[in-house]
Amino acid sequence: MIEGKKILAIVPARGGSKRLPNKNILELGGKPLVAWSIEAALGSKYIDRVILSSDSKEICEVAKAYGADIPFIRPKELAQDTSQSIEFVLHALETLQEAYDYAIVLQPTSPLRTAQDIDGGIEEFVAKGATSVIGVCENEHSPLWSNTLDETLSMEHFLDNAYNNARSQDLPVFYRINGAFYMSRVASLLQKKTFFVEKDIYAYIMPQEHSVDIDTKLDFIIAEAVFSAMQSDVL
């Protein structure tokens, strides 16, 4: 709770994953991915309840062992490859009998996000009087040096002339959504059905090393390397 407002954290972890099978319970640093988000949420100074939304009994058992509440099993129709993320959020909010003022989504695929990151996002939310706050980090590579290619592979107009000879350190800083933190007012989510509202939405800037988002085997290898470096105080 913060300033008298109750906060619900939702950890979404469906069973199916085509690109990286069983990714939500893959072990990183001796714990399944889903455990890292649960423990970070439980370590928050402000979150009142941490629940899991999953269609998988196996994931539910793992999550329960690490302290998450399991108030329901997510319906299979809301756990498909084509299911939209907002659907599990609305299902949770509409299914729970207890009312909350704010809701946070903490994806298991962002295991390096910490309780301090979560509390920082919550504090920014309150300080800004926000409707939504979304976690971001600095882009690893500037999109100004990227473009599409047609079948000819021509690069005649690949770069904007303003950046043809620019040094990377002289390029404008871009940020990407890191998938680690989504927070919004419950009333707004129920009405607008999105975290990406038109007004009073702000970015919460997180370190790159806390922003690894695991969707593929390569992502997982990177997460293992970053985790190892963090444990050794290299980063």
For residues 80 and 86, give the distance between their C-alpha atoms in angstroms, rounded to a whole number: 13
Task: State the helix-helix crossing angle for 33-42 and 57-65, rounded to 10 degrees.
Answer: 40
Which range is most confident: 138-147, 158-167, 197-206?
197-206
> Binning pLDDT at 50, 70 and 90, where does residue 63 land?
very high
pLDDT in tens, 151-168: 999 999 888 777 777 888
Residue 216 has pLDDT above 70, yes or no: yes
Quick one: which of 186, 188, 194 has its CA closest to 7?
186
Mean pLDDT over 98-104 rounds to 97
Backbone phi, psi, residue 17, to 5°? -160, 115
Above 70 in pLDDT, residue 234?
no
CATH number (1.10.3210.10, 3.40.50.720, 3.30.70.890, 3.90.550.10) of 7-139+175-231 reads: 3.90.550.10
State how far the Cα of 222 lies from the Cα of 20, in Å rounded to an integer. 14
Please compute the mean of the pLDDT values over residues 51-72 and round it to a whole number.
Answer: 96
User: In 3-state terms, what secondary structure has residue 25?
Assistant: helix
Q: How far, in Å, CA of 31 to CA of 223, rounded?
A: 13
The distance from CA 140 to its chain's CA centroid, rounded to whole angstroms, is 17
pTM value is 0.93
What does 48-87 look like in DSSP terms, one character per residue? -EEEEE-S-HHHHHHHHHTT-B---PPPGGGSSTT--HHH
Q: What secondary structure does DSSP assign to 132-151, as a single string?
A: EEEEEEE-SS-GGG-----T
Token pair for 128: 């800004």
Q: Is the pLDDT of residue 220 over 80?
A: yes
Return contacts of 215-219, CB within 8 angstroms, 24+ apart. 215/19, 215/20, 215/23, 215/109, 216/19, 216/20, 217/20, 219/20, 219/109
- Classify 6 as helix, strand or coil: coil
